[in-house]
Chains A and B, each alone.
Chain A
């Protein structure tokens, strides 16, 4: 674990150095080293145990380890955001006093498909609401643009419903004590991704907070994608859908014929 940590830190440093050398080739060698040392002193470093979550045939949810270090004691808050999409929320209304049917609908734009907030202690103790709003930390302060024929007074109800439905599916979670601190400098947490996790590019944001102010932040991408047979089937279904449909029918006809023959001989 420790060896891997050092290895990753070393790798990150090497990458940064390489980037600096590419961007500023005209700056002298000594100066580049200065910048590298500056980087070493930065208040927050964090990384993930892996940057790709592969959804294979046996996928049933997985954990990704997030770890890092701070220069001085402080609170650590992390936010995982999934790819944005539009969601339609509908409210059930009573039709003719007998049956319940979908009534008013609201479309929410750019809703994160996945949203996880974790910290080393409850959020309210770490950050005030204005600061959380500024950094979009916490599902209660998420900016959700809405459109639809609903009274402004009712919009809060739809917003709450969206969060509640997402939480019910394990897609929105809040774990106030999930980040564990070691010697006030090192921190680690397991990020859980359930089996129904949407695929796409995720952003893992780590915030270092001192005295109610965000003093440093780091963003790491995480890619969640299907691999193997599952990915091939998905690609086939989406890119050559007509062929896929015909193949599905042929498989079904063949299986039906096979079953009939097998049971006839018995």
Chain B
């Protein structure tokens, strides 16, 4: 069954889109990430114009983050104070990111910038996560299955920064500049890569800010709602590239997939989940890196210059 997408201006198979939404939703429920970093390249792969893929995916992530954050909210796993500071950084970052996006597009290098940032960040995060979870599995075997705690409180120059704030939920007393900077960096990436940024935000919150794992996902989802809502609005007003028909199809399948994924996830151990996610992230990274380096079959690309 075919359906015509009014903004993407193409017709697609309804079941293909539902399948993609369900599959990515399953993975996002399983790993607790938004899945934008998988969905945006997939949409582009099936022929959706990149600008429409980025704008529509932002809209879909709003829906999946709302449904995800409510579950965490009920369990009290959202640090609103931390979320708001991350969000302020995120909004400034996404504003800067949109400007950078426009500049790179005028140079004709936006595709390269997108691919490079994907390869760079997926590569770093995937490898770190892979090594860390391997290490955990190895250690827990050695100590007979007892859970391993990360190293105690370390005092570095980071703790000497001004504007210290107390984050009760996260059990942290750190400078507000730190989450602000993390939010800003992720905001820039989110605007360029067309993702919510959860896959960068979650590791940054665990490893850079030192937040407890149980509040990380809820807090990250909380701020992603607002960053992606802002991106949706900017894309809709500046480029008219948000396709609500496509977004609705994706999100209906994605929320169902996410619930099934979450049930599966509950049966697996944390480090097993992380190692699987790491393998998936590294896989996407390797594919994108390979595509960039292998000799293309078509040396030319075409884009619309302007309509009359």
Contact with A along B230-266 (1 / 0, CB 8 A): 0011111100101011011001100110010000000
Q: Quick one: which of B10, B63, B112, B236 contacts A256, CB cutoff 8 A?
A: B63
Contact with B along A79-90 (1 / 0, CB 8 A): 000011111111
Q: Which of A43-84 contact B (CB under 8 A)?
A: 55-61, 83-84
Q: Which of A197-245 contact B (CB under 8 A)?
A: 198-199, 226, 229-231, 233-234, 237-238, 241-242, 244-245
| B292, A259: Cβ atoms closer than 8 Å | no
Does chain B have a CB within 8 A of A15? no
| B293, A91: Cβ atoms closer than 8 Å | no
- Size bracket of the B interface: 35 or more
Q: Quick one: which of A89, A198, A234, A244 contacts B302, CB cutoff 8 A?
A: A89
Known contacts A256-B255, A260-B67; A226 and B303 CB within 8 A of each other: no
Contact with B along A98-134 (1 / 0, CB 8 A): 1111100101101000000000000000000000000
A229 and B3 CA atoms in complex are apart in Å by 12
The residue in B10, B11, B295 that gathers the most chain A C-beta atoms within 10 A of its C-beta is B11
A107 and B303 CA atoms in complex are apart in Å by 9
Known contacts A233-B7, A255-B63; A102 and B247 CB within 8 A of each other: no
User: B residues within 8 A CB of A161?
Assistant: 299-300, 302
Give the A-B pair count, Cβ closer than 8 A.
191
User: A residues within 8 A CB of B233?
Assistant: 242, 245-246, 249
User: A residues within 8 A CB of B60?
Assistant: 252
- Minimum CB–CB distance for A258 against chain B, Å: 8
A66 and B11 CA atoms in complex are apart in Å by 25
- Minimum CB–CB distance for B200 against chain A, Å: 22
Q: Quick one: which of A59, A88, A257 contacts B305, CB cutoff 8 A?
A: A88
Q: Quick one: which of A55, A91, A257 contacts B300, CB cutoff 8 A?
A: A91
Does chain B have a CB within 8 A of A263? yes
Does chain A have a CB within 8 A of B137? no
Does chain A have a CB within 8 A of B65? yes
Q: Quick one: which of A91, A99, A102, A110 contacts B308, CB cutoff 8 A?
A: A110
| A253, B302: Cβ atoms closer than 8 Å | no
Q: Quick one: which of B9, B247, B252, B302 contacts A87, CB cutoff 8 A?
A: B302
Known contacts A84-B308, A88-B305; A252 and B300 CB within 8 A of each other: no
A17 and B229 CA atoms in complex are apart in Å by 59
